[in-house]
Structure 1
């Protein structure tokens, strides 16, 4: 537990700074372009490269590439160096070709991810132009992702978690420059100029370029020297394709679900301006924050260790690693999920209610975030369960589980889209997401438990139940703070929202920590103990005055 906790803490620190700067980036974006047509055009264009990368690379990285790199490091005479160089060569060439093709196909891609946007409309034309400026980042992002995967297999977790900070800082500067240059016209698709769109789009790409450079430098400092290798017969591409075809199938299925989400939300935004793609995107980014800080950090440290344990036939170690990871993630995500459900608008008003985004728009984003709070724990556990299969080299089972989850999600989304008024559709999409991942997590747990001969469900369930009980007083305090602040101020505004966050969020989490310590939740004690040890100043002692049995007084 201590090794996993230390590795996760290093990554969590970098991810925390990354997410905080990401918040600032999103705040500036909302200030500059708002949540209506211009915001929807930018977010539609921005989502496409990530969807393509998910399809081609990122899913394969976690499920196939990391275990194969680990195996090459263990089995190849050179410790896997040549294999890593071949892999980086293939990815670089392939993604350059993909980036060029995507830029040429930008109109088709925008049409694919949206609904009811006429090709001659200002919104469609702006989205296409932004996509052409943003899509070249595909090549750089992919190269950086492979570099990060190689670093992770070397237990170098800091750089992949800190590099996005550079990306965020670059884009923040670009967005501020855009806001200054474009002014109020920057939020209007009919007034923004091509030069301003070039600044916005190319600036977004520049952030990814900077992030990739940081990762490549870190890889070089870790002792990796990149030499292009074109002897691809030794790149194990056939084996990778055999393993990766199932992962690509899983990603295709999830991306079809995402495509349905963007189409339904864009259609809702056409009927109710300010209630479309942008509120969905902003709320989803906030929903992903705790998972990104804790969940991704734990998973990134967990997968290489589980892969090594599987390779040595140590199922006990696999079970222990999974159980400790679930408990560690849950100890933070359980109270956070409850507070998200209570404090959603109080979180989003201070972040988004500036410039082109009104208080009402920010409150709606918060309402969507409240619904997403239901999905936080199911989503996090679902992702952990997939890594159990990936550590065994099984990429087929996640496809079937993912297909079922996406099918349920799609069915519920369509039903809610048809049933709900347009202004509530995005909230309905978030609710469908929560239900689908809850059901998918149950199925994945049963299958993974069979694979490793038991996951300790009763023990894990008892631990999580204790965490929920410990969170209830924090939820009551948060609800009381919302009621009192709105009663005193007559509504939710910037000042009242901050007061709610301080009392309901800050004191609520402190209350949870205190109760968790009293009820002896070991993960909280471990986290606080590690923080205390790191924060404590070193004790300066005279080496000559201390023997092996000496006790240092308090």
Structure 2
């Protein structure tokens, strides 16, 4: 427990700064381009490179490459160095080709993820995609470097590098807004030079992020030397394992394709309640997950992979159990507080520049729905790492099929039944239900694989955490009601709600949980007290 806690705390510090600066980046960008036609065009163009990366490489890195590198480090006479060189060579070549081809196919890619756009909005999105799509190569090379760093238990650089990317993008968005002001959100008047500033600035941030990771890899002794002897690269083994990963990611992208098209369609019927609202709310939903859960997941996978390689299933069970407890102890109150304070968060962040309070409140309503899914989504991601530690990428595919079936069905029902303004909230609810079901199924299958995951003990622990968190949520709700009665909902009152309701609510939760002797809270309190006492 203490080892995972220390490693996670180190990563969480970098991740927190990364997510907070990303939070600022999102707010500044929304203020500059709004959430109407231009905002939707940018968000679709910006999302496509990540879709392509995840579809073609991202899932392989997280589920296949790290365990395989660790096995090669233990079995190869050179400690896996040649294998890493071949992997980096293959990655550079493949990612360059993917980036070039994606730029050439920018127009059909934009058409795939948009519904009902007029020609001008489509043209703006395509032009932005031309500038943004090349970042696939830099993002991918940085991700490979980060994966190799993780196998050496070097987690700091991958967590801190995105901070520089966010800083670059914040500067770009500020320059854009200062240059154009309120006209910056008008898709009909924005010029090619303005779009170049947005697009190339976005790519520049990823280039800086990649450079940081490559330098960090060099500092731990990795020296890149192109190797083209791919017969010894273990591609057959990787291919057999990765084919299921590609299937898993492909299934996930079908779900994303459905969601994006339904959200853009809803935005055409109810301006301001479309894809940008969904995308920004989802980014805020990812903030607590990224700070807390990603750090634990990143530390877990190499250790569980070593446990599997050594035939020590007890180690796998203990690493997983520690991870679930550490993740849940902070995400349980975070999810409840998001459900209460979602609009306060989005009004404080988004009611500036080319945004309105009404649009920000709507995003907050979407965020409240996402808050329901914070804990099951995070536990689902932890469960996937159990399968990946065994080199099993097939089982997650069938779980993903179930997720997509649930999500797509509920999303289509929401689109055709709900008023246009509530469709995106319905999409967020479909996402939540899908991950509740997916986590339950994944838990049953993973428990069979490792001989039990202590479900009753985890359920008892979660129940105690929710009991400790309910007074905090009630306190936040009282602060919300009093503040809104006194001054309404604006940026200043939202700041008060978050500081008093969110900040003091979390303190109240920690105090109650510590009093209830929830061990993970006691470990966190003890670690913080030890640091303060030094």
TM-score bucket (shorter structure): over 0.9
User: 2:527 matched to which residue of 1?
Assistant: 530
Task: Measure, in 1, the Cα distance between the counterparts of 2:274 and 2:147.
Answer: 34
Given the two structures, how large is their TM-score scaled by the length of structure 1?
0.96
Aligned to 1:64: 64
2 CA distance for matches of 1:275 and 1:179?
22
Aligned-partner Cα distance in 2 for 1:230–1:525: 52
Shift of the alpha carbon at 1:127?
0.4
| Alpha-carbon separation, structure 2, partners of 1:63 and 1:292 | 18
1:288 is aligned, of 286, 289, 306, to: 286
Who is 2:178 aligned against? 180
Measure, in 2, the Cα distance between the counterparts of 1:132 and 1:237. 32
Cα distance in 1 between the residues matched to 2:197 and 2:205: 12
CA distance, structure 1, for counterparts of residue 14 and residue 48 of structure 2: 26
Which secondary structure does the structure 1 equivalent of 2:520 belong to?
helix
Instruction: Number of aligned residue pairs: give it.
Output: 534
**Counterpart Cα distance in 1 of 2:268 and 2:408:** 20
Q: CA deviation at 1:2?
A: 1.0
Which of 497, 510, 514 is matched with 1:500 structurally?
A: 497
How far off its partner does 1:454 sit? 0.4
* Alpha-carbon distance, 1:13 to partner: 0.3
Partners of 2:226 and 2:531 in 1: how far apart? 42
* Distance across 2 between alignment mates of 1:304 and 1:535: 31
Larger Rg belongs to: 1
Q: Distance in 1 between matches of 2:522 and 2:159?
A: 25
Match of 1:20 in 2: 20
The 5 Å alignment of 1:356-367 reads 356-367=354-365
Counterpart of 1:228 in 2: which secondary structure?
A: coil
SS, match of residue 78 in structure 2 = coil
* From 363, 368, 375, the counterpart of 1:370: 368
Q: RMSD across aligned C-alpha pairs, in angstroms?
A: 0.7
- In structure 2, distance between residues paired with 1:472 and 1:189: 45
The one-character-per-residue Cα deviations of 1:384-429 (angstroms, maximum 9, x if unpaired) are 1110000000000000001111111001100111110110000000
- Matching residue of 1:427: 425
Stretch of structure 1 that moved more, 525-534 or 203-212: 525-534
Cα distance in structure 2, aligned partners of 1:440 and 1:141 = 29
Q: Shift in Å at residue 533 of structure 1?
A: 2.1
Question: What is the correspondence of 1:123-162 to structure 2 with a 5 Å cutoff?
Answer: 123-162=121-160
Residue 469 (1) aligns with residue 470 (2): no
Which residue of 2 is the match for residue 86 of structure 1? 86
Query: Could you tell me how far 1:525 is from its partner in structure 2?
Result: 1.2
User: Matched residue of 2:522: which SS?
Assistant: helix
- State the distance in 2 between where 1:104 and 1:261 align: 25
Pairing 1:328–2:326 present: yes
CA-to-aligned-CA distance 1:469-497 (integer Å, 9 cap, x gap): 000100110111111111111x2111111
Q: CA deviation at 1:182?
A: 2.2
1:550 aligns to what?
none
Which among 184, 200, 214 is matched to residue 212 of structure 2? 214
- CA–CA distance in structure 2, aligned partners of residues 201 and 29 of structure 1: 12
1:243 aligns with 2:241: yes
3-state SS of the aligned residue for 1:115?
coil
Structure 1 unaligned runs (5+)?
Answer: 538-554
Determine the structure 2 residue equivalent to 1:317.
315
Q: Confirm or deny that 1:11 pairs with 2:11.
A: yes
Alpha-carbon distance in structure 2 between the residues aligned to 1:180 and 1:338: 37
Q: Does residue 166 in structure 1 map to residue 167 in structure 2?
A: no
In 2, the alpha carbon distance for the partners of 1:221 and 1:74 equals 22
Q: How far apart are the structure 1 equivalents of 2:204 and 2:234?
A: 33
Q: For residue 337 of structure 1, what is the aligned residue in structure 2?
A: 335
Of 174-183 and 220-229, more deviation after overlay is shown by 174-183
Aligned to 2:107: 107
Q: How do 1:264-303 residues align onto structure 2 when only pairs under 5 Å count?
A: 264-303=262-301
- Within a 5 Å distance, the mapping from 1:394-433 to structure 2 comes to 394-433=392-431
> d(CA) in 2 for partners of 1:407 and 1:252?
14
In structure 2, how many angstroms separate the alpha carbons of the residues matched to 1:85 and 1:529? 43
In the alignment, which of 455, 458, 467 is matched to residue 457 of structure 1? 455
Structure 1 Cα separation of the partners of residues 116 and 486 of structure 2:
43
- What is the aligned partner in structure 2 of residue 446 from structure 1? 444
Q: What is the deviation of 1:532?
A: 2.3
CA distance in 1, matches of 2:193, 2:533: 52
- Within 5 A, what are the aligned runs for 1:339-354? 339-354=337-352
CA deviations 1:61-96 (Å, max 9, x no partner) are 111000001011111111111101110110110010
* Alpha-carbon offset, residue 266 of structure 1: 0.2
Structure-2 residue corresponding to 1:549: none
Deviation, 1:499, is 1.2
Shift of 1:534: 2.5
Query: 2-side partners of 1:444 and 1:165: how far apart?
Result: 33
Question: Cα deviation per residue 1:127-177 (whole Å; 9 max; x = unaligned)?
Answer: 000001000000000000000000000000000000000100111111111
> Would you say 1:98 and 2:95 are equivalent positions?
no
Alpha-carbon distance in 2 for matches of 1:482, 1:505? 10
Distance 2:115 2:166 in 1: 30
What is the deviation of 1:503?
A: 1.5
Deviations 1:3-26 (A, max 9, x none): 111110111000000001001101
- Supply the distance in 1 between the matched residues of 2:225 and 2:288 (Cα, whole angstroms): 38
